[in-house]
């Protein structure tokens, strides 16, 4: 996630977007992207047919190795850590999670963050014997309090591309001492690839309320997803930095056949009609045909166990709108 303001980059890349909703001057946002699930639904916020994908439509692959984890009270504060713990088969040992781990399978697990900040009192009240964090877990003062409590803390690697998924899962499995569970889970992470078609897909990151309008380029994270789904990431073809300011000139140059957005991004510009008012959008094939796919923000930004199940469904979604 290169070329971004570090603070904004970390927050948006891990669903912590509030700093980017009030960005400093010249901020550049870079996003780690993972995608999608079906059934495909129509976004009721817009009368025009927009395919919207929610996390409720993507199941979590869960394995059962029969191994007992080394720790029995787990707090998962690292982005996506709770999802991985549950996928390894140890949901019943989860006593807390961060707000980024938003998925139906974890509804019974308490949130331990407020406004994306760790609530130390809540964490300590859960009496964890291990806490998973990552580079984006904050604030440092809260982490220091937890460290001073002599609770085992494990920092896991962040995942911003498809290649990052397995190392992150292995770090958690290693800490829990469940190698068989990792072996079973990793076998479910299929290498989903398709021949690359010439259909051009562009990922746009929009926060209209903060005047943030960006197009994903090479290294955004979206490029690996779109490529694996079998399409040309036209932003990555044209722009060698992860994110570039969106402009009419950029859109004319790219001429995307399909535009992919996050659900809140489309909402922030006033739905599809508001999107079409942005300079250049209506002049693209995607804009003319209203070929738009939106994805729930938490799902779109999560590289984890669900990703391999999302991949073919992204392809389905794009192929469906291409019929317009």
pLDDT of residue 46: 43
In this predicted structure, the answer to whether residue 304 has a pLDDT above a threshold of 70 is yes
* Mean pLDDT, residues 176-202 taken together: 90
Q: What digits encode the pLDDT tens for the residues 205-223?
A: 999 999 999 999 998 888 9
Give yes or no for a contact between 169 and 182, defined as CB atoms under 8 angstroms apart: yes
Q: State the Rg of the chain over Cα.
A: 20
User: Would you kindly state where each structural domain of the chain is located, as residue ranges?
Assistant: 6-57+192-321, 74-188
Taking 50 as the threshold, does the pLDDT of residue 23 lie above it? no
Structure tokens at 144: 């220091």
2: pLDDT strictly greater than 70: no
Task: Tell me what percent of the residues of the chain surpass a pLDDT of 90.
Answer: 60
Q: Could you tell me which CATH class the domain 74-188 is placed in?
A: alpha beta
Cα dist from 203 to 13, 37, 124, 206, 261, whole Å: 14, 17, 40, 10, 6
Q: Does the pLDDT of residue 12 top 90, yes or no?
A: no
Q: Give the residue with greater pLDDT, 298 vs 148.
A: 148
Each residue of 308-318: pLDDT tens digit?
888 888 889 99
Summarize the confidence of residues 225-244 as an average pLDDT: 94
pLDDT at 4: 35
Same fold, 6-57+192-321 and 74-188: yes
* For residues 254-261, average pLDDT: 96
Q: What is the pLDDT of residue 283?
A: 95
Measuring CA to CA, how many Å separate 219 from each of 198, 225, 250? 20, 11, 17
Tell me which residue of 12, 7, 72, 48 sits closest to 212, measured CA to CA: 12
pLDDT in tens, 39-71: 444 444 444 568 988 887 888 899 999 999 999
Per-residue confidence (pLDDT) for residue 114, from 0 to 100: 77
Most confident range (mean pLDDT) of 13-27, 78-92, 109-123 is 78-92
- At the topology level, CATH places domain 6-57+192-321 in Rossmann fold (3.40.50)
Residue 135, beta-bridge partner list: none
Q: Are 182 and 35 in contact (CB under 8 A)?
A: no
pTM of the model: 0.79
Tell which wins on pLDDT, 296 or 110: 110
* Beta strands 243-245; 212-216: pairing state: antiparallel
Half-sphere exposure of 267 (CA within 13 A, CB side): 10
Average pLDDT taken over every residue of the chain: 84
Task: Compute CA 293 distance to the chain's CA centroid, rounded to the nearest angstrom.
Answer: 15
């Amino acid at each position: 996630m290169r070329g971004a303001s570090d603070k904004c980059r970390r927050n948006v890349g891990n669903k912590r977007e509030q700093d980017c909703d009030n960005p400093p001057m010249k901020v550049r946002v870079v996003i780690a992207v993972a995608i999608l699930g079906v059934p495909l639904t129509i976004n009721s916020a817009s009368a025009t047919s927009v395919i919207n994908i929610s996390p409720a439509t993507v199941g979590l692959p869960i394995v059962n190795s029969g191994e007992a984890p080394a720790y029995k009270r787990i707090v998962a504060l690292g982005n996506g850590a709770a999802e991985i713990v549950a996928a390894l088969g140890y949901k019943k040992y989860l006593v807390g999670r961060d707000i980024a781990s938003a998925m139906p399978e974890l509804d019974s697990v308490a949130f331990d963050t407020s406004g994306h900040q760790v609530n130390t009192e809540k964490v300590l009240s859960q009496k964890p014997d291990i806490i998973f964090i990552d580079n984006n877990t904050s604030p440092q003062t809260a982490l220091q309090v937890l460290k001073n409590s002599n609770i085992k803390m494990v920092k896991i690697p962040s995942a911003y591309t498809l290649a990052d998924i397995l190392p992150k899962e292995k770090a958690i499995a290693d800490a829990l001492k469940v190698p068989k569970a990792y072996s079973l889970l990793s076998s479910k992470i299929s290498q989903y690839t398709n021949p690359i078609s010439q259909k051009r897909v562009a990922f746009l990151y929009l926060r209209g309320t903060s005047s943030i309008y960006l197009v994903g380029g090479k290294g955004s994270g979206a490029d690996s997803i779109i490529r694996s789904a079998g399409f040309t990431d036209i932003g990555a073809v044209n722009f060698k930095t992860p994110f570039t300011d969106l402009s009419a000139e950029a859109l004319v140059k790219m001429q995307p056949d399909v535009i992919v957005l996050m659900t809140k991004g489309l909402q922030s510009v006033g739905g599809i009609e508001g999107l079409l008012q942005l300079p250049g959008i209506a002049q693209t094939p995607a804009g003319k045909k209203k070929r738009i796919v939106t994805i729930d923000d938490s799902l779109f930004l999560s590289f984890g166990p669900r990703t391999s199940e999302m991949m073919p469904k992204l392809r389905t979604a794009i192929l469906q709108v291409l019929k317009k």
